């Protein structure tokens, strides 16, 4: 497993920094955002270090599929996946999107009515 020792989320994967885990499998970890913007705010990350959605390569196909499937698991666990519910998936890429942690992650936001467009 490739890891960057100075990467915050790699350190969470390694167990060196604690996190409130929601879901885990061989390729993916999901944990609660430290500064939640909604009743459910979970970050789904690959255990493999990939910088962001702009640096995904063909070799990452399986990991990215696992990441997407894990968002469904998280929505089920959080009870926000019903027909009358819903949630938002967000991937920030680079400074203009306020991307603050350079390790690929999907924000799963839900548990309240979310406005559009985002800020
Ligand atoms: P982004 O701005 O898209 O890069 O998202 C990074 C997210 O990581 C932000 O929503 C932060 O609140 C969150 N975050 C930063 N440090 C931690 C941490 N130690 N545990 C959980 N979430 C964190």
pLDDT tens-digit readout, 14-43: 999 999 999 999 999 999 999 999 999 999
Contacts of 9 (CB under 8 A, 6+ apart): 43, 45, 49, 101, 103, 105
Query: What is the average pLDDT value for the chain, to the nearest integer?
Result: 96
Q: Model confidence over 59-78: pLDDT tens digits?
A: 999 999 999 999 999 999 99
Which token pair is 115? 């406005």
Q: How far apart are CA 11 and CA 79, in angstroms?
A: 28
41 flagged as catalytic:
no
Ligand 1 mutation pick, 38, 93, 100, 119, max ligand atoms within 8 A of CB: 100
How far apart CA 40 and CA 45 sit, in angstroms, is 16
| Annotated domain spans of the chain | 8-110
Please name every residue paired with 119 in a beta bridge, in sequence order, or none if there are none: none
pLDDT(1) > 90? no
In the predicted structure, residue 89 carries a pLDDT above the cut 60: yes
Fold of 8-110: HIT family, subunit A (3.30.428)
Ligand 1, atom 18: closest residue by C-alpha: 34
pLDDT of residue 119: 81
Percent of the chain with pLDDT over 90: 92
CB 66 within 8 A of CB 46: yes
Q: Is 11 in the pocket of ligand 1 (CB under 6 A)?
A: no
13 has a pLDDT exceeding 90: yes
For the cut 70, the answer to whether the pLDDT of residue 82 exceeds it is yes
Q: How far is the C-alpha of 54 from the C-alpha of 86, rounded, in Å?
A: 26
Produce one character per residue of 12-44: b if its CB has 16 or more CB atoms within 10 Å, e if not.
bbeeeeebeebbeeebbbbbebeeeebebbbbb
């Amino acid at each position: 497993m490739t890891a960057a020792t100075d990467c915050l989320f790699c350190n969470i994967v390694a167990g060196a920094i604690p996190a409130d885990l929601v879901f885990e499998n061989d390729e993916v970890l999901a944990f609660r955002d430290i500064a939640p913007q909604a009743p459910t705010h979970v970050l789904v990350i690959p255990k493999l270090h990939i910088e962001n959605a702009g640096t995904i390569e063909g070799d990452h196909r399986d990991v990215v599929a696992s990441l997407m499937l894990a968002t469904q698991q998280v929505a089920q666990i959080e009870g926000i996946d019903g027909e009358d519910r819903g949630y938002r998936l967000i991937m920030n890429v680079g400074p203009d999107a306020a991307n603050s942690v350079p390790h690929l992650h999907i924000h799963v936001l839900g548990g309240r009515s979310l406005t559009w467009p985002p800020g």
